[in-house]
Structure 1
Amino acid sequence: MGRQQQDPRHVVAGLLSDERFTAACAERDMGALFRLLNHRGISTRRIAAAVDITQGRLYDYMNGKSRVEKLVIFEQIADAFHIPGRLLGLAVRPWEPAPAGHVPPPRSAPQLPPNDDDLSAMDAFRNADRQTGGGRLYGAVVRHLGHNIAPRLVDADSSQQIFATAAAMTEMAGWMAHDSGRDDLAARHFNRALPLARTSGDVSLAANIAASNSHLALQTGDPAAAAHWARAGLDLTAQGPRIPALTARLHTMTARALAATTPTPAARALDQAHEILDTSAEAQHPWLSPFDSAALASESALVLGDMKRYDEALHHAERAIALRRSGSRARSLALSRITLARIHLQRQDLDAAVSIGHELLAADPTLGSVRVIHQLDGLRARLEPHRSYPPVRELLTRFEEARRARMLLLADIIQPPNKGTAP
């Protein structure tokens, strides 16, 4: 059979592990993707017919004269060539096989009020986590799930609300595992939480868990998956009650996923998040952790930093710190200061970065967050090339001393390499 007669879907199947192909998908560079298909023997006529565009338009894409922007065309490309939706930041396509344990998306169902004891437990865990970090709380949350929540899931008289309770607590366990530096365990908790939320019929909770999956994908270096989860979450929000903070969070996660590769759509998503959060009255949901102005400022600084708009990033980072300074969010404050120090370094302002670094090291060393330790390590690595500058050298010496102290204080929650994780 001639090369021109190959099935494009078979060609794509052979390209799924090709770095050029996956990079083109992650960057949504359809011109590069079409060139790869053409080089593998798929004619331009066949490509254009499969995607339902003219050959002239196809040549514009392939020659870099224009880019695909419309969602419907991305969907046509994914479906024509059987490109998994996650690679293009789309929802799972109808032809993709359902994963094991898949539960169809829920229809929104009337929600019964949560049990007061469950809400009190959630609030207690949430407040302690914000102040002290999730490392030492993880075991307590897992025990609470096993002893107080799981038995009620199989009770014949249980309502859908207990599934929402289980989903929210399981998601919280995932965040605490993430804060302990155990991202594989966090992913397992999030993957368990989503079908529980779907079973409960609480689409807002399911969308919130999708946002958590998006965050975790970013932290583990998979922006395409992060964009997919953010889009899935936004699709879910359309099925449930309007909760502006949740929608703003999902638009923010979209912006973060796209910032490094496609800045224009990222900027639009971030603008949407600000517009929604700034102009909408807050709607309450018992299981959703608030996404407030300080959180949006912190995320905006990260997005704008990735887009190399450092002056704007600086403004948002300073705002995040100002909003968190008077509260009880010790971890959020530390992470915001790390972001601010990084932005000062990107702006080549060493003295400002050193000043923020000293503030960081003066914070409570018992904060049980391995995530903060890892980000401090990253900041230290960024400072290292400037060691010849005496103030930086002095700060790096303090970093070493502080890290040793923190590692000793947190030895009970830091996992040794290659050690198995809890179930």
Structure 2
Amino acid sequence: MKPIALARIAWRGLALTALAAASAQALAADAPPYKVAFIDPLSGPFGSVGQLMLNHLRLGADQVNAAGGVLGGRKMEILEFDSKLSAQESQTALQSAASQGARVIFTGGSGSSVVAALSQAALRYNQRNPGKEVIVINHSSIDPDLTGKNCNFWYFQTEASTSMKMKALANFIKRSPEIKKIYLLNQDYAHGRQWAHYGREMVGLARPDIQFVGEQLHPIGKVKDFAPYVANVKSSGADSVITGNWGPDMTLLLKAAADAGMNLHYFNHSAGSFPGTVLAFSQAAAGELTWVAEWHPGQAGTPKVDAWAKAYKAKFNQDYLAPRITLSAHMLADGLKKAGSDEPAKLVRAMEDLSFDTPVGTLRMRGEDHQLLLPQVVNTIAKVDGKKVTMGWEGTNYGFRTDASYSGNELAQGNACKMARP
């Protein structure tokens, strides 16, 4: 064949390839978005926490979209709803999200009671709307009952449960002989009561010699002055406090303890993940605050999370705190890819026992109860020393010191889930 003819054939091939690529791009551009909903507090005392969580999810959705989207090029679109920290508002938002075409609901910052209500609302909605079901993915609430006795086929949890987090802390307390007397001070709702229960149970097993010298619950998000509660802790003779407080309830507790001259060791589930906690602790300048999470800022040997943190800072001008929220969007994308369909029931089954790569390691969503086996790092807010604490946080000379690390498999426990499957 003559060179000119060969050239013509080659050019035709290139043209057809270019045309196919352009057609694929056009189809992707015309494809409807894959809608998901975010339902968490965006106003009120916990509004800043909800906004932070929304931005973490946005980062994940943007990363998924930049990589080609889902299901052949559909872009992940987030519909935003303000839960106002209310179960009723959240359930109304779920109905609205579903009517707008969202088939996945991300939530978790409204507290375990609200998340539980959403999980049950989704179950009722799905029974009435077969084929148009909604799936709830909880990124932050940690009540073990959500994947235990109240487990739900349409519900997934990407945060470690209370029992997983407390097991990590109990292991730490076991080798801390200076801790002798513990007071249990918690918010009066499902998570607060669970944090107190598992604290007494697991720490008691790890250290039978420890004395629990008092226990008290307080209204969530309503206490403006914790002085009366701190006075009770002081009179008990406690040297440590197990508290599940978060957001303003944690910072106000630290302030009241500092004002009372208390030098306590606090044990919490995610203190450093909430804005203002490090600043409040640095101002108190007394005691220690130990908490657990899948990662903490300044943690050594985490270049992939560091890259996410850098991208987040550039995009939102905020500090990055919670990889689990961002990776929740990636888990959904991987589940959709595995399912090859946006049909909710197929997506649920695809996410069961799904293993996927993340900046904190390869993780598995346990199929039997829909609990993500997320690693936990025990760390303590401490002064920068250039060795164990290399960077300050929130404009202070306090950062985070790694004390211990545990894999999700090490912290995994049995559960009471008896899942009804459609």
Larger relative contact order (Cα-Cα within 8 Å, sequence gap ≥ 6) = 2
- TM (norm. structure 2) is 0.26
Q: Larger helix proportion, structure 1 or 2?
A: 1
Q: Larger strand proportion, structure 1 or 2?
A: 2
